Amino acid sequence: MNIFNSPHSPYGHPLPQGERGNLFLTLTCFPFWSYGRRIVHIFAKKVFRSPLGRGDVFLTLNYFSSFTYRKKIAHMLAKKLSLSPLAGGDGFLTLNFFSFSTYRKKMAHMLAKKVSPSPLAGEGARRAGEGNKKHIFIFFLFLLFSPIIFAAPAQNIYNFNTVGQQNRFDDLTQNLRCLVCQNQTLAESNAPLAQDLRRQIYQMIQTQKSNQQIKDYLIHRYGNFVSYTPPLIPSTYLLWGLPGILLLMGIFIIRRLSS
């Protein structure tokens, strides 16, 4: 992901880091958009005042839910960027997960307009021999980029005494289903209930409960559905037996055809 040191950098040569200071900001999956707003404010302030002489700004705004709010952010950023001391710098703006495609287009236009009259059309471009060509990259990376990757570390808030306990915790949470978002595991989900259940599992591991006891605890309360491994009971005979039946049928058919 390090575009600065790649031969494809807008400057045509690798950029020394530090000198140009890079700022990567990823706002992912914030549940409360008001919180996201606060971060963006802080961020904008920092950039405005920052010593990033010719710095580069990566801004990833993911998953913002309020459409009007996105517009506001875009305006604000565009303003900040053009005023900022990022002379010679590059603004990378990654807006993920925008749901209105017409809006994306509009935003791109707007940013391109705002940015080009800025002092950014300076030295960097000349050094690259590109004259006054735009050296602002606006990246729109959708979907694949964002929430899952960045949301995952958020839950690593539990410290275990041994690696074994940590492994058990990972193993259990990855094999139990979140009841709220039912296609996610307890490890993946950020639903409040999943957080509570992770806490319960953590506490039970701390009190030396076995994996089976922990699973039984959850199955007792939520039913077999909570486990990704269905038990062998009459209603699941078909489920467990079907692969074998299909295999036998396959063997039977092949033998019939070959004889």
Partner 1 sequence: MFGIESEILAMMKSKFTLFIPIILFIIVCFFLWRGLSLNPRELPSPFINKPIPQFTLPELYHPDQNFSSTELRGHVTLLNIFASWCISCRVEHAQLMALKNQRAVLIYGLDYKDSPNDVLKWLNKSGNPYERIGFDQIGNTAINLGVYGTPETFVIDKLGIVRYKYIGPITKDVWESELQPEVEKLARED
171 belongs to the binding site for partner 1 (CB under 8 A):
no
CA distances from 10 to 14, 133, 140 (A): 9, 10, 17
Q: Which is nearer to partner 1, 67 or 225 (CB)?
A: 225
Backbone angles phi and psi of 139, in degrees to 5: -100, 125
The residues that bridge with 71 in the sheet, in sequence order, are none
Q: How far is it, in rounded angstroms, from Cα 25 to Cα 106?
A: 23
Q: How far is it, in rounded angstroms, from Cα 59 to Cα 73?
A: 11
Segment contacting partner 1 (CB under 8 A): 132-140, 143-151, 222-230, 250-258?
222-230
**At closest approach, how far in Å is the CB of 239 from partner 1?**
13
First CA to last CA distance, the chain: 58
Residue choice 220, 229, 238, 255 for contact with partner 1 (CB under 8 A): 220
Task: Using the CB atoms, write b or e for 132-162: b if 16+ within 10 Å.
Answer: eeebbebebeeeebbbeebbeeebeebeeee
41 belongs to the binding site for partner 1 (CB under 8 A):
no
**At closest approach, how far in Å is the CB of 177 from partner 1?**
10
Residue choice 31, 223, 241, 250 for contact with partner 1 (CB under 8 A): 223
List the interface residues with partner 1, window 175-204 (CB under 8 A). Answer: 179-180, 182, 192-193, 196-197, 200
- How many residues in the shown chain lie near partner 1 by CB under 8 A? 14
222 belongs to the binding site for partner 1 (CB under 8 A):
yes
**At closest approach, how far in Å is the CB of 248 from partner 1?**
17
The arrangement of strands across the sheet holding 90-95 comes to 22-27, 56-61, 90-95, 138-139
Q: Which is nearer to partner 1, 135 or 198 (CB)?
A: 198
Residues that bind partner 1 (CB under 8 A): 179-180, 182, 192-193, 196-197, 200, 219-223, 225
